[in-house]
Amino acid sequence: MAYPKGPKLGVDVGTVRVGLAACDPDSILATPVRTVGRDVKKNSDIAIVLREARERAVVEIFVGLPRTLKGAEKASAEMARTYANLLVGALAAAEMAVPVRLVDERLSTVSAHQALHAAGMDSRDHRKVVDQVAAAGILQHAIDMEKSRGTTVGTLVPAPTTVALGSTGAPDRGKDDQISPVASPGTVL
């Protein structure tokens, strides 16, 4: 499957902040866009990602999946997976058919700090922009891999399963009905 051409978003998810980056319609250069506060109660940051996606008419969103150097996943990877699932659900609810893919982001934040230091930025000021610079690194890596391989990269986050709601607004569970959880994505390229 050839990779989609057009603007794309990169997302770096943290416990406190979410960094956003975007690329041009030709998918040549990823640039930092903004850093937003992570809002785990209201998910207002998800709404901001959706707004950016709509305004830029993006064709793909890449969410960084942090792994250890040995490829293991820890709590931060689960947080990124959960965020990606929330994003897919919000896109579906907004009737936006934009695929979300998880991509390996090992050392993206470390690289972002190094780039900011090399650019002469004081390390005390890194916090304001490091997440969006990391998101740009995630996105640039993804678009470069897509171009070199000629196909999509990363693991597609599946759309949420729909559940019939009963009159109470709760899932209607007959004796033969089961609610399927969202499948856990497989290997990330």
pLDDT band at 115 (very low <50, low <70, confident <90, very high): low
* Residue 173 counted as domain residue: no
* Residue 161 counted as domain residue: no
Please give the C-alpha separations between residue 180 and each of 25, 52, 67, 102, in angstroms, as whole numbers: 37, 30, 27, 21
Average of per-residue pLDDT across 34-43: 93
CATH code where residue 82 lies? 3.30.420.140
d(CA 8, CA 20): 10
End-to-end, the C-alpha distance of the chain in Å comes to 15
Task: Note the pLDDT of residue 32.
Answer: 95
Q: Percentage of residues in the chain with pLDDT exceeding 90?
A: 57
Domain range for residue 83? 8-156
H or E stretch covering 90: helix 75-93
* Residue 37 counted as domain residue: yes
* Residue 20 counted as domain residue: yes
User: Would the CA dihedral through 29, 4, 110, 39 be positive or negative?
Assistant: positive
Q: Which of 48-57, 103-112, 135-144 has the lowest mean pLDDT?
A: 103-112
* Residue 174 counted as domain residue: no
* Residue 162 counted as domain residue: no
* Residue 165 counted as domain residue: no
* Residue 185 counted as domain residue: no
pLDDT beyond 90 at 108? no
pLDDT band at 154 (very low <50, low <70, confident <90, very high): very high
> Domains in the chain: how many in total?
1
